[in-house]
């Protein structure tokens, strides 16, 4: 395992120290339990939004705490859901009297822990709503299973709901908006390499020199299928087609195209994939009206990418364009 | 003789030890069909539990289980944290106010605890989860206790049923937890949570089975 | 070689197509010869700034074209300096009558090609100044050698001179400012892994599982020394100490700390390094007043990081904070 | 007999061929002490040169050299692009207006060309660059021509001096180009640019040496 770390057990704590040192103008960090909140939290009379999940997906979620996006984030150990006490404490720390939205990615661990946390926060008299993001078309959706994973749409939901909350929306409005984003967003990812969880010390899976995994999540899980390495053009289509077919998107739809690096894939390759994605979507009659390209929801140092498409309307576009000032996303300020 | 607080402590400690010994094995199983952290998660949690038990010295059986539960909930995270947390929390509730527990009481407490895990995680038999080890274990345990078996024999049957249930997860296609994302590819691998649950039943067997009735 | 590409020979062209498709609101792309310019180029009566160099360092330089930063960028083949005709054409395309600054990284190839380009542009009647960035303390500085490489300070120089040019500074003022940034900036980098030039198909160098290279550049060149893998804290000190000793920085100096990923190192590790860097610099009596953390001057998918420190004064801080709107850096707009 | 335009074309084509054949070798040398692209760069350039010569059919020796130069300059990039570009540009200047070139003229033209490369790159002997192959080659060539050797013999001596110069780069610590960043670690490796320059002298030998005087 080759990583710039000190002690596999200390990665998350030291990461938080780094975030605190670097972004003290934007956020405050709590170490017991672990959470990150806006510098000015709690903001009175504003619906607050927190999210959380295992670490290893940076900049998500801690990098999205700030004006116009999240009020707080709870980092778990690497790829491990945070615990209810963290979420409950963060909920308390951001609560400004208008309620708190929990944005939860659909993983058994995240859902169960956030459920417990919501119970705890409600017991403290804080109004809490939870919205579960489940946008990964690589996973078959079924009532009899855990359902789809929550992946790239989470980033977009955090930005868009954050803008609405900043503009004064109520908890139920923000929650409704979050469900709308989830309903209109779909994702799919792939990996060229595995990643190594620091505490495990070796790659989660092995991939041959000429193989790739299609349909991976963001935790180094193996994907739905292993395939022969394909070209960037083919990969773009393999990911985009099931997304477009799933929603279903319609001719003339405007979309936000979010092309994400899993961590180890550099920008030069993302742009090669983007030209293919752009062509493919044109061919399907879709217009990319906004885009986001880079490592935003990563899987440690995994090489690979994911595509998220969000169907836009005027409301979503306006909220996407609204100012945001976080370590990971910044514009308009 | 019934189960004492001392034995309860021994049970938790034994579980902590076998988790530590099997940490890499559990993590490996989780790498195959999950995200490769089950051993790490459980070990982080159980180390914290053992430290907490040492530093707080809970006064009775229920308090031991509740301390274990709260510590797991606040240190494990992931799916297994709330699920094992729920199991131990329910054991704490079921043993409230009791200085010792009979075989029948233990069997009932564990049954209630496993049902609480099922309620929280919504998994049923053959979803390829810890339930596949726990559910056969409580069935065997309560049958054995009803048959009048002594605790040692009943726990031996519970442990071996858990082992069978764990092995039976191998061919299954997962429907809950991360492994479910793999679809058909999850078949052919043993479920990590079922494996830690089998270890749990082994720890109970060793701690409670020795000369109790 | 595992990369999201189609054809090793087509990487740069397809990357440009991706950039054009993604950032058509910010830039225009020329394919013959290759260059990228601001959408509104040439801006009349503004000193223009171009830079360029081999591809594989994304977002540098193409991702830094836009309001408040570069007017144009010339991408060469991967890790290969662009050619004089590209630079001359880009110079022409951005020239708004107040002259054009060439920001050149100190590599023999870049320097020689930019020299030829400046000759060509001057022959066309365009006033050109070139400033060579040579900030890499890993390389011994000597009159008898090619001197130091240009690395991380380039990004900072492009941002700061871009702000000055936007505010109306003359060519000679912008060039002087660029020399000032270069004089006050120092960098050093390290690698955990090599990278693979697409056209070469295999890693430029081999590193054992327990080895790292200290003092690498940004082209997959081996470094000054190969060492046993060290902790993040040790790495931060190994890089920061020669920088601080070189400038020399003084007790109480305010600095901009730029912690850069070489491409394959994810943000989680950068923050672990950052906490160590922050502690180390405090110990040396320096205050980090601004920071930039992420993959900004990369070496394809190489794992590793580099540290750049720029000594700040009020002028540099103000220009750093000025609005910028590029694909790679954005704030204030 | 003197060197003709046809032979000049053969010289450039031969150089293109040996560059193609040695592309991976040159790249490997550059991986050891540079950035691993010298073979790729030179091959990209020479393929473009050959295509350009085919499509434009330059009318005379000087035009052949100038076309080669301009194409290298606009397609190679890196350090070698402007340096080889300068070399061929100077050959073009020195051969301006000449239908054929004598051994002495060729020797003088090449000497001027190498000096132009030195002026552009500021490298001198033992900096571990292409100069270490080119400088011995022009010295050998002009001495041989002064001694009255025929072109074949003179070019053979130039080629073998280039080879010696190339090999002599192995122990050197680089002072110019990317290899200089390696400091002491650059010793023990053969310089890629000196190697391509030796290939250049080989191409000249084969193209001009055959039955000319
Ligand atoms: N809904 C569920 N009900 C019961 N057990 C579950 C459920 N989901 C997952 N599990 C168990 O949890 C185990 C994984 O635990 P762990 O790896 O610690 O958590 P995570 O999946 O969050 O990484 C699985 O092997 C499975 O036995
Ligand atoms: N200043 C210089 N003068 C002469 N030759 C040089 C100089 N710098 C580099 N070279 C030659 O260029 C070769 C490297 O060329 P190449 O790899 O194509 O370019 P780059 O170094 O830009 O990647 C070196 O091996 C060396 O022989
Ligand atoms: Mg996990
Ligand atoms: Mg797991
Ligand atoms: Mg090069
Ligand atoms: Mg080279």
What is the dihedral sign for C-alpha B117, B119, B123, B126? positive
Q: Which residues of A touch C22 (CB under 8 A)?
A: 271, 274, 278, 291, 293
- For residue C38, tell me if it sits in a domain: yes
Cα C95 to chain centroid distance, Å, stands at 22
CB-nearest to C221 from D75, D79, D181 is: D181
Burial class (CB in 10 A: 0-12, 13-18, 19+), A127: middle
Spatial distance between the Cα atoms of C329 and C155, rounded to a whole number of angstroms: 10
What pLDDT shows up at residue D212?
Answer: 44
Report strand pairing: C330-331 vs C324-325. antiparallel
Laid out side by side, the sheet with A128-133 consists of A27-31, A34-38, A72-78, A48-55, A100-105, A128-133
Which residue, chain included where needed, has tokens 């005027």? A314
From C242, C230, C226, select the one nearest C280 (Cα to Cα).
C242
- pTM, two decimals, is 0.92
Chain A 63-122, residues with CB within 8 Å of chain C CB atoms: 63, 78
Give the domain CATH number at C260: 3.30.1180.20
What is the dihedral sign for C-alpha A56, A57, A61, A62? positive
Interface contact flag, A76 B44, Cβ < 8 Å:
no
Which of B32, B115, B131, B193 should be mutated for ligand 1, with most atoms under 8 A from CB? B193
Mean pLDDT of C102-124: 94
Residues C147 and C34 in one domain: yes
Residues A201 and A176 in one domain: no
Burial class (CB in 10 A: 0-12, 13-18, 19+), D21: exposed
Spatial distance between the Cα atoms of C230 and A2, rounded to a whole number of angstroms: 10
Whether pLDDT at B162 is above 90? yes
Spatial distance between the Cα atoms of B158 and B139, rounded to a whole number of angstroms: 8
Interfacial residues of D (vs C; Cβ cutoff 8 Å): 27, 31, 33-37, 40-41, 44, 73-83, 120-121, 175-178, 180-183, 185
Active site (annotated) includes residue A102 = no
Residues C172 and C192 in one domain: no
CA terminus-to-terminus distance, chain A: 39
Q: Considering C183, C202, C231, which residue would you say is the last residue of a domain?
A: C183
ω into C61 cis (within 30 of 0): yes
Rg (CA), chain A: 19
Structure confidence by residue, pLDDT tens digits, B88-106: 999 999 999 999 999 999 9
Instruction: List the domains of chain D with CATH numbers.
Output: 3-209 (1.25.40.340)
Structure confidence by residue, pLDDT tens digits, C169-209: 999 999 999 999 999 999 999 999 999 999 889 898 889 99
Cα C145 to chain centroid distance, Å, stands at 22
Domain that holds residue C129: 11-183
- For residue A129, tell me if it sits in a domain: yes
Write down the mean pLDDT value for chain D.
Answer: 95
Distance D83 CA to ligand 2 centre (A): 8
Residues C203 and C213 in one domain: yes
What pLDDT shows up at residue A245?
Answer: 94
Whether pLDDT at D213 is above 80? no
pLDDT band at B183 (very low <50, low <70, confident <90, very high): confident
Residues C55 and C142 in one domain: yes
Whether pLDDT at C102 is above 50? yes
- For residue C74, tell me if it sits in a domain: yes
Q: Considering A159, A183, A207, which residue would you say is the last residue of a domain?
A: A183
- Comparing B36 with A232, which gets the higher pLDDT? A232
Residues C16 and C146 in one domain: yes
Alpha carbon separation from D199 to B55, B194, D158, D204 (Å, rounded): 77, 67, 11, 9
Distance D191 CA to ligand 6 centre (A): 10
What phi, psi does D210 have (nearest 5°)? Answer: -80, 95
Residues C166 and C42 in one domain: yes
Domain count, chain C: 2
Active-site residue (options: A23, A57, A61, A102)? A57
pLDDT band at D1 (very low <50, low <70, confident <90, very high): low
Residues A140 and A82 in one domain: yes
Residues A277 and A176 in one domain: no
From C207, C211, C216, C301, select the one nearest C262 (Cα to Cα).
C301
Chain A 232-261, residues with CB within 8 Å of chain C CB atoms: 232-233, 235
- Comparing B1 with C248, which gets the higher pLDDT? C248
Whether pLDDT at A222 is above 80? no
Which of A109, A145, A219 should be mutated for ligand 1, with most atoms under 8 A from CB? A109
- For residue A136, tell me if it sits in a domain: yes
What pLDDT shows up at residue A224?
Answer: 79
Residues A31 and A135 in one domain: yes
- For residue C164, tell me if it sits in a domain: yes
Whether pLDDT at C141 is above 90? no
Active site (annotated) includes residue C102 = no
Residues C162 and C298 in one domain: no
Mean pLDDT of B82-88: 96
Write down the mean pLDDT value for chain A.
Answer: 96
Tokens, residue B190:
């043993």
- For residue C4, tell me if it sits in a domain: no
Structure confidence by residue, pLDDT tens digits, D96-139: 999 999 999 999 999 999 999 999 999 999 999 999 999 999 99
Q: Considering A183, A203, A225, which residue would you say is the last residue of a domain?
A: A183
Active-site residue (options: C23, C57, C61, C102)? C57
Mean pLDDT of A43-66: 98
Is residue C228 a contact partner of residue C124, using CB atoms and an 8 Å limit? Answer: no
Give the domain CATH number at A61: 3.40.50.10440
Spatial distance between the Cα atoms of B199 and B210, rounded to a whole number of angstroms: 17
- For residue A324, tell me if it sits in a domain: no
Element containing residue B145 per DSSP (H, E): helix B131-146
Tokens, residue C128:
């050109």
Q: Which residues of D touch C207 (CB under 8 A)?
A: none
Interface contact flag, C272 A4, Cβ < 8 Å:
yes
Residues C179 and C202 in one domain: no
What pLDDT shows up at residue B212?
Answer: 44
Alpha carbon separation from C164 to B199, C48, C112, C330 (Å, rounded): 67, 11, 27, 16
- B118 SS3 class: helix
Structure confidence by residue, pLDDT tens digits, D130-183: 999 999 999 999 999 999 999 999 999 999 999 999 999 999 999 999 888 888
- For residue C271, tell me if it sits in a domain: yes
What pLDDT shows up at residue B1?
Answer: 62
């Amino acid at each position: 395992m080759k990583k710039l770390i000190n002690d596999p057990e200390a990665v998350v704590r030291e990461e938080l120290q780094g975030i605190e040192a670097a972004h003290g103008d934007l956020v405050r960090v709590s170490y017991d339990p672990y959470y990150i909140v806006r510098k000015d939290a709690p903001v009175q009379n504003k619906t607050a939004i927190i999210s959380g999940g295992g670490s290893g997906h940076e900049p998500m979620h801690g990098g999205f705490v700030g004006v116009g996006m999240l009020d707080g984030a709870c980092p778990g150990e690497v790829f491990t859901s945070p615990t209810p006490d963290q979420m409950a404490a963060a909920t308390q720390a951001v609560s400004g009297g208008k309620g708190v939205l929990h944005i939860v990615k659909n993983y058994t661990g995240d859902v169960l822990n956030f459920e417990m946390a919501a119970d705890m926060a409600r017991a403290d008299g804080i109004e809490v709503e939870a919205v579960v993001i489940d946008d990964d078309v690589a996973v078959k959706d079924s009532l009899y299973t855990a359902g789809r994973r929550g992946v790239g749409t989470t980033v977009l939901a955090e930005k868009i709901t954050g803008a609405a909350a900043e503009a004064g929306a109520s908890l139920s409005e923000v929650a409704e908006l979050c469900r709308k984003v989830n309903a209109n967003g779909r994702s799919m990812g792939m990996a060229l390499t595995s990643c190594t969880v620091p505490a495990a010390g070796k790659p989660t899976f092995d991939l041959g020199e000429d193989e790739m995994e299609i349909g991976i999540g963001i935790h180094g899980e193996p994907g739905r299928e292993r395939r022969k390495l394909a070209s960037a053009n083919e990969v773009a289509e393999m990911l985009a087609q099931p997304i477009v077919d799933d929603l279903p998107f319609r001719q003339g739809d405007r979309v936000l195209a979010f092309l994400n690096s899993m961590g180890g894939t550099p920008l030069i390759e993302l742009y090669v994939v983007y030209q293919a994605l752009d062509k493919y979507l044109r061919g399907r009659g879709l217009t990319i009206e906004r885009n986001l390209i880079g490592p935003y929801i990563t899987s440690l140092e995994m090489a690979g990418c994911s595509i998220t498409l969000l169907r836009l309307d005027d409301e979503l576009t306006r909220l996407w364009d609204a100012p945001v000032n976080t370590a990971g996303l910044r514009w308009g300020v | 003789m019934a189960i004492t607080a001392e034995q309860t402590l021994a049970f938790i400690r034994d579980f902590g030890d076998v988790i530590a010994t099997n940490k890499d094995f559990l993590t490996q199983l989780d790498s195959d069909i999950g995200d490769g952290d089950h051993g790490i998660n459980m070990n982080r949690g159980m180390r914290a539990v053992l430290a907490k038990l040492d530093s707080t010295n809970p006064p009775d059986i229920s308090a031991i289980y509740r301390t274990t539960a709260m510590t797991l909930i606040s240190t494990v995270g992931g799916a297994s944290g709330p699920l094992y947390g729920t199991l131990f929390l329910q054991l704490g509730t079921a043993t409230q106010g009791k200085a010792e527990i009979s075989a029948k009481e233990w069997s009932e407490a564990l049954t209630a605890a496993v049902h609480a895990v099922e309620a929280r995680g919504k998994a049923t038999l053959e979803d390829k989860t810890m339930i596949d080890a726990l559910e056969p274990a409580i069935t065997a345990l309560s049958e054995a206790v009803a048959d009048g078996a002594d605790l040692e024999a009943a726990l031996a049957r519970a442990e071996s049923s858990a082992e069978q249930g764990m092995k039976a997860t191998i061919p299954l296609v997962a429907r809950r937890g991360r492994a479910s994302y793999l679809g058909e590819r999850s078949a052919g691998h043993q479920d990590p949570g079922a494996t830690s649950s089998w270890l749990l039943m082994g720890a109970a067997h060793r701690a409670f089975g020795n000369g109790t009735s």
